[in-house]
Every structure is written in C-alpha cells, then in structure tokens.
Amino acid sequence: MAHNHAGCQSPRDYFTEQLLTILVCGGLGFVAVQLYLNDMLKHILAPQFHLPVLIGGIAVFVLVALRGLAVWREAGALVPATDDPTCQVNHVHTANCNHLPGLPGGEADPNLVDDHGHSHDMSWMFARMLILVFPIALFALGIPNSGLSSEAQEKKLGLEAALDPETLKERAKDAKVEDVKTDADGNTTRTLRTGSGLMLREVTTKDGNVTLNVIAQGGEEMRFNTLAEAAGDADKRKSYEGQTAIMEGRFRPIQGASGKEFTLFRMKMTCCGSDTVPIKVRIIAPHSVDRQYFDWVRVKGVIQFRQIPGQDGYIPVLMLGDVTDIQLIPNNQIKNEYEF
C-alpha cells in the first residue's frame, strides 16, 4: 500500500535537515553580498553581472527568513510523539504513530500500517550540505582572487616573434627636420617628424655614431581594447599613430629581442573568468629593460602599428623614448587585473 514519506519522518531528522538547509542557504546569500561589497566579483564576472549577484544574495536572505519563520511555527505546533516502542526506524505504522503533526500526512492514519522496508537516514542530506557549503568554503579561503596564474596566462599568450629592430632608421630617412642643435662637444641633435607623426631625436656624435630615440609628448590613458580594434582598421591606425599613450598591464619579455622589446598584456573578460583572452600591445624600448615576467607596469610611449612577421595583420606598438617611461606598480596598487 502506498504511504506518505512526510508523515513518517521523525521530528529530529526533519528539523535537523531544515535548520541545516536554512543555515547553508543563508551562508550562500552572505557570500554573494560580500563578493559584491568587497569587489571580488571582478575576478570571475564581467561588471554587468555584479548587481544581479547582489540582488540574488538579498533575495536568498529574504527566503531564508521566511522559511526560518515557517519552521519555527511548525516546531511550536509540534505534539510530543507517542511512546509506542514499535515506532522506530523500519517500523510498522500504527494508529498510535504520530511523528510530525502539522506536515502533510503527519497526523496519525490507521490506513498507514504497511512496513516501509527502508530507513529515513540522514546520509544523503549531509552529502547535499557538503556540496552546497563548497562555495562558502572557497570564500573563507579568499577565493576568488586575482584570477589566472602566470602559467595559465603564459599558455594563453602563446609564442611571439620579435619585430624588425631597424624600423626607426627606415622611418627617419624621409622624416622632416624640425630642429637642429649642436652642443659644445660637437654632438648634433636633430628633431625629426616622420610621415606617421612619430617624433624622433637623432643624436650624431663627433665620431659619426648615430642614435635614434622616440620623443613621447604629453600622453593620455589608453585602453587595450581601443588599440586592438584600431589595429584592424586602416583609418583608425592613421588616426592613432603618433599619439602618446599611457597604459598599465603585465610585463612579458620577448625572446631574442635583447631585452629591448616586450609585450604588455591584460586579460579581457567578456562574461566570466573562464572566457578570458589576452589582449596585448608590443613595447619597444631604446635600451634593455630590467623587469621580471608578470610584473605589473605603467608604460608611456608613442603609438605605432607594425605588421606581424609573416602575416598580413597589424599589431599596436608603443615606442618608448627612455627606459624611465616604464615604471613598476606594486601588486597592492593594481586597479583591476582585467579589462572588460
């Protein structure tokens, strides 16, 4: 004969399950709100999803409060169970067996007299609680944090080839001379402007040695997305070339570039942490740069676009006037690891 499970669950097991569920769900709501307030969601979700997480956390708190009130009222209406010694686990239901009044089927029913043939233990309930409590445990460990490891980001970046180091000399050939000065030692300094708007400083010593450096003037904060999009558009490339940009990102040296060339990159997040992709800008310095891989740096340089070796596409390049145009930023001063 069919029977109702709700009526044969003991008060102890029922209220234990309800209280644990309320506790864990309240913890999940607390974690959701704290992730929003502590700005930890930026490591796993794009900004447009932050507010829904906060609203969801508050909604969970409301549901927890309502369910807690309902359970409290059920506990208050509970009638002490019978002392019938036969009313145990794997028992035969009798008219004297009144486990949990107030619940569906909880009232004594003389028709429920067949044996279950199974017990109502708590093992599956505890297993369910362990799964639900997992996000709370991660939050207690400080996760999510800064996101991908350097090894994971290195894998996403892939291999990169060094660019042609003679580009400045080639561009200086047809450059317009803006100014000429000669110092007391016989060294001549010329200020040149290339057709792309790049300002160069050419220094010729009395021995005939020539050095070329880029002149970075002014500068404004620039997004990686902006330069990445401009690289694929001829009109935008022409518009941005020659401007001075200031950018922040991770440092990655280029093998075979003698320390003068490196990649500045950040991870772009469209939706969540699992869909991040690297966006990068190539940096060319006049001298070797002494930085460690994965350092967070601030760079000031003149925007150029260079063709990728062996390909038809272009990449954005910042050309530095001096190694002082790259500055190390401590990790505790990083504004945001990701770009959205």
Q: What is the pLDDT of residues 262-277, one digit of tens each?
A: 999 998 887 776 778 8
pLDDT of 57 > 70? The answer is yes
Predicted pLDDT at 244: 92
Are 135 and 204 in the same domain?
no
* Residue 1 domain flag: no
Give the domain extent around 317.
155-164+217-339
Q: What is the pLDDT of residues 164-216, one digit of tens each?
A: 655 677 777 788 888 899 888 888 999 888 877 778 888 888 888 888 888 88
Q: What is the pLDDT of residues 214-229, one digit of tens each?
A: 888 788 899 999 999 9
User: Across residues 25-52, what is the average pLDDT?
Assistant: 87
Domain final residue pick, 145, 180, 199: 145
Predicted pLDDT at 9: 54
Q: What's the CATH code of the domain at 262? A: 2.40.50.140
* Residue 150 domain flag: no
Are 134 and 28 in the same domain?
yes
Query: Comparing 29-38, 41-50, 205-214, 220-229, which segment has the lowest mean pLDDT?
Result: 41-50
Are 224 and 191 in the same domain?
no
Phi/psi at 101 (5° precision): -60, 150
- What burial letters (b/e) apply to 32-64, b meaning 16+ CB within 10 Å? bbebbeeebbbbbbbeeebeebeeebeebbeeb
d(CA 203, CA 321): 13
pLDDT of 151 > 70? The answer is no
Are 259 and 335 in the same domain?
yes
Task: For residue 303, give the amino acid letter.
Answer: I
Are 114 and 251 in the same domain?
no
Are 61 and 210 in the same domain?
no
| Total domain count, the chain | 3
Q: What is the pTM of this model?
A: 0.61
Are 289 and 302 in the same domain?
yes
